[in-house]
A and B are shown apart, each in its own frame.
Chain A
Amino acid sequence: MEQAREALPVEPRIWPQILIMEDEMSVAKGLELVLSDEGYTVDLAMTGRSALDNFSQKAFDLLIADLRLPDIDGMEVIKKVKNSRPDTEVIVVTGYSTVSSAVEAMKLGATDYLSKPFTDDELMSAVRVALQEKKAFNTGAAEAAVAEPPVPALEPLPEDLQRVQEIMTQVWKEFSGTREELIPILQKVQNHLGFIPESTLEEIARFTRTPAASVYGIATFYEQFRLHPVGRHIVKVCRGTACHVKGAERILSEIETRFGMSPGQTSDDRMFTLETVACFGSCAIAPVVVVDDSVKARMNPTKTREVMEGMDHENQDQDQQ
């Protein structure tokens, strides 16, 4: 029974969750700062017992463990965690490093053993390696499962639909209702809402005296138009020739793995929508990524991730305010 429950896939998460088990407040806080800056979700446990309590309540992807603790020996905690949740990765950090404890930690399945003091970069690279292994472990298990169902398109929010009428009234005023205005009208609606609600298509058809099927035909023919809502920010990766030659594919796959969305999809928190564009015409400064309306030059996977994470934090701050 116990094992069967453990084998169930944990709920899908974008950000890996990390537990820091460390009795020295200053060290613990320092680690927390570095890791949360990188976008990880971090919890703290000051004693071995509270670490085990934490694990009984939720699954962590990674445990960063000190060995000398006020109550239980750190090695014991690792052993118990590895027993109950074998897919948890462990990194040992200790001020009293010995060869024997290092060997013991590795035997228990720790991926790395860092002796204090260590630099932020050493820590980050150890964390990255550990989480990569975790991913390999998970995908191995997922392969047996059925292929992922297609992600359903987002439904409009009620407040969006409330604004529709307001925008349509503007449209009736601004345009005269000829057929050639069809594309500009659709562009206007999308500029205001970020998408074109299906309900407006019929109204536009009546206004321009065009069959509704033609309006729908146009809205689906042109790449620009979207019939479903999008996230707060739109990230467009250019797939022009120059960008392709200079590694746009790698940027795209970084976003896909990091934020769990493929082109055309929106992240679960409605923060980002990922799109690809045939060419932005900024080829001399390739590869480019366009975030909302600002063109970012000479990008790479890390820079792109940092830009997106920066916006994510900004928004969280705004929301809190």
Chain B
Amino acid sequence: MSYTAIKAKAEKEWNWLENLPQPLIQLGMGTCGRASGADDILGSVQQTLKDLNLLARTMEVGCIGMCYLEPLMAVRKPGRPFILYGNLTPKKTEKILKRYLTEDDPCAKWGVCTIGKYRVEGIPPFEEHPMLSSQVRIALRNCGLIDPNNIHHYIAKGGYSGLQRALGMSPAEVIEEVKASGLRGRGGAGFTTGLKWEFARNSLKDTSYIVCNADEGDPGAFMDRALLEGDPHAVLEGMLIGAYAIGAAKGFIYVRAEYPLAIERLVKALADMDQYGLLGNSVLGSRFRFDIHIKEGAGAFVCGEETALMASIEGRRGMPRSRPPFPAQSGLWGKPTNINNVETFSNVSAILQNGASWYAGFGTEKSKGTKTFSLAGKVERTGLIEVPMGIRLKEIIYTIGGGGPKGKEIKGVQTGGPSGGCIPADRFDLTVDYESLAAAGSIMGSGGMVVMDQDTCMVDMARYFLTFTQAESCGKCLPCRLGTHQMLSILKDICAGDGTSADMDLLTDLSETVQKGSLCGLGQTAPNPVQTTLRYFKDEYENHVFHHKCKAGVCKPLFHYEIDQELCNGCGLCVHKCSTGAISGEKKEPHCIDLTKCTKCGICYQSCKQQAVTIL
């Protein structure tokens, strides 16, 4: 089938959906949505429609990014915009449908925002919601708006027009276009994508491979999962364009086994592509031949590193090797191989669809375009966001994220997962781009952003990340294998109150050695969390070492709870919650904690409404 024929068919279906005479109900069925109970909401929707004897269509969509409101539902009546409702329960769903569909009351107090042309009184439109107003969605352009299982939806939204355009250009022209857009690898290191492709193209002899790295191993990051679940074709189109540019006939997607839904969506997407002639011996009737295979990861963080990933695809232990030769010269089975991240490919398809200069219009001089982040941790509005490069951190955390939950003070943010660093709140003026994050000692990374507040201990955080990298170190090179082990045992000592002043110097020394001596990115970046916390939160280390105090109340040997006799109103809530019976006191009189019984579980601290429980 020719592209025009496919496009006509897809647009017909989309137009039909747009002008549906019945109400349309969209449900966010990504992993986040399902985990929050979207299946129950779907059941409730179907039951309510049956009870009310109403005709309406339901449709599954991916993650729209407002994960803190999951489960979500969007309802559209003919000639009206979608109204997005969040924090649903089956009962609430029933009420909304009943009131809106039969009584025409849009339940404005529960509405999050509207999506579409018209306005509904009392509900802000999508673009004005505080979480969305400063976002620019390019990679996530269709996430949450289309049915990821329906290739027609993607095509109707302009999908595969980028591929069609690329096939009309020479591979060298495609590479030039991507270079002109200024796109840099979104996997973390930020190497210029067009340049990487050019290297692979130049070493092409008989065959080469293209790989999509969806082994999103960073704890605290979920952009790639949401993208694959919400709009798999955007990634696959980018991969096809890349394959055409470098001359690859075979591609692999390396996905984590922990992402079953993403795999399911990819399998369906590949089957649809096959049916429409987007894969196989003659892609869209051209002479370009291409096939994609899915490779499931087996749970090794280091396989996100490209040489380890290739070893894993070949059926070996996923251990990195030294470079050169770079994969572009000698990769899978000794052939030139190009590896890009999920988000990079989604950007590629957008660039070919809309042109390089359009894309280069976003971002800063050196970092073009947008970047997705998974905003998580101690922040009011958690979720998946996409912002133009060059935005300030404070805008992400306070405007989009809405600041700390329950008004707690934010202490810092970890970008780049265990390979990145903690940036303190007083440096939130920093702009988000590859260079300035690196200057602050952190990295852009794949886009994890975990916010920490006053209840997070930074020494414990460094210990946590080291525990992770130490466990995930493949053990091939010595600096990483033994260095991380040694650093971890020092950090454990400090958290247990056995640290000495020499420990801090030793940590600094070891950090440098591990950084310089390790073979791959895992070891080279593993000391980042330690170095940044030492740099920005030295007082916390000193408190642990010299004063034996953990002010955040995390390192158990270094603090205890006490009830402020002035603030306590004797409500007895803590007595009820305490599982060890450590709290006693007369009703309406200040209580006190028996430290011999207290296990420091923190339940009293969290539950006290007067904030009378203090950390000493």
Contacts and interface: CB of A to CB of B under 8 A. Distances in A.
Nearest to A240: B219
Contacts of A199: none
A281 B216 contact: yes
A126 to B, nearest CB: 9
B35 A179 contact: no
Interface in A94-151: 125, 128-129, 132-133
B36 A281 contact: no
4 nearest A-B pairs in the assembled complex, by CB-CB distance = A284-B67, A223-B299, A241-B220, A222-B298
A218 B153 CA distance: 41
Given A221-B300, A242-B376, A242-B377, 13 more contacts: A129-B581, A180-B314, A184-B295, A221-B317, A224-B299, A278-B468, A281-B258, A283-B220, A283-B374, A284-B375, A288-B35, A295-B34, A297-B35
A284 B317 contact: no
Contacts of B21: none
A296 B576 CA distance: 27
Contact of A282 (B32, B300, B450): B32
A33 to B, nearest CB: 22
A245 B35 contact: no
Interface string A211-239: 00010011001111100000000000001
B257 interface: yes
B31 A282 contact: yes
Contacts of B576: 125
Interface in A147-175: none
Contacts of B297: 224
B220 A179 contact: no
8 contacts: A186-B298, A218-B315, A221-B317, A225-B298, A240-B219, A245-B456, A278-B472, A283-B376
Given A218-B316, A244-B464, A282-B222, A132 B34 contact: no
Given A180-B314, A241-B414, A281 B31 contact: yes
Interface stretch (B134-142, B378-386, B491-499, B539-547): B378-386
B358 to A, nearest CB: 30
A241 to B, nearest CB: 4
Contacts of B67: 284-285
A281 B259 contact: yes
A246 interface: yes
A283 B217 CA distance: 12
Contacts of B216: 281
Query: Which residue among A181, A183, A242, A296 has the maximum number of chain B CB atoms within 10 Å of its CB?
Result: A242
A72 to B, nearest CB: 30
A62 B222 CA distance: 47
A284 B300 contact: no
B307 to A, nearest CB: 15
B258 A179 contact: no
Contact of A278 (B34, B301, B315, B450): B301
B305 interface: no
B258 A277 contact: yes
Contacts of B438: none
Contacts of B375: 284
A279 B218 contact: yes
B417 interface: yes
A284 B299 contact: no
B258 A280 contact: yes
Contacts of A187: 257, 296, 298
Contacts of B456: 245
A242 B450 contact: yes
A293 B259 CA distance: 10
Q: Bin chain B's interface residue count.
A: 35 or more
A124 to B, nearest CB: 11
Interface residues of A, number: 50
Q: Give the one of B382, B414, B417, B472 with max A CB within 10 A.
A: B382
B260 interface: yes
Interface string B128-165: 00000000000000000000000000000000000000
B452 interface: yes
A286 interface: yes
A222 B377 contact: no
Given A180-B314, A284-B382, A296 B452 contact: no
Of residues B377, B382, B414, which shows the largest number of chain A Cβ atoms within 10 Å of its Cβ?
Answer: B377
Interface string B283-304: 0000000000001111111000
Contact of B377 (A210, A224, A241): A241
A239 B363 CA distance: 34
A298 B36 contact: yes
Which of B219, B312, B318 lies at the interface centre, i.e. has the most chain A CB atoms within 10 A of its CB? B219
B36 A297 contact: yes
A144 B378 CA distance: 42
Nearest to A190: B298
B54 interface: no
A184 B296 contact: yes
Given A132-B579, A245-B456, A282-B31, A181 B376 contact: no
Contacts of B276: none
Contacts of B222: 281-284
B580 A132 contact: yes
Q: Which of A179, A243, A294, A295 has the most CB of B within 10 A?
A: A295
A229 B417 CA distance: 33
A274 interface: no
A278 B374 CA distance: 16
B221 interface: yes
Contact of B298 (A183, A242, A277, A280): A183
Interface in A176-205: 178-184, 186-187
A133 to B, nearest CB: 8
A180 to B, nearest CB: 4
A224 B303 CA distance: 13
B110 interface: no
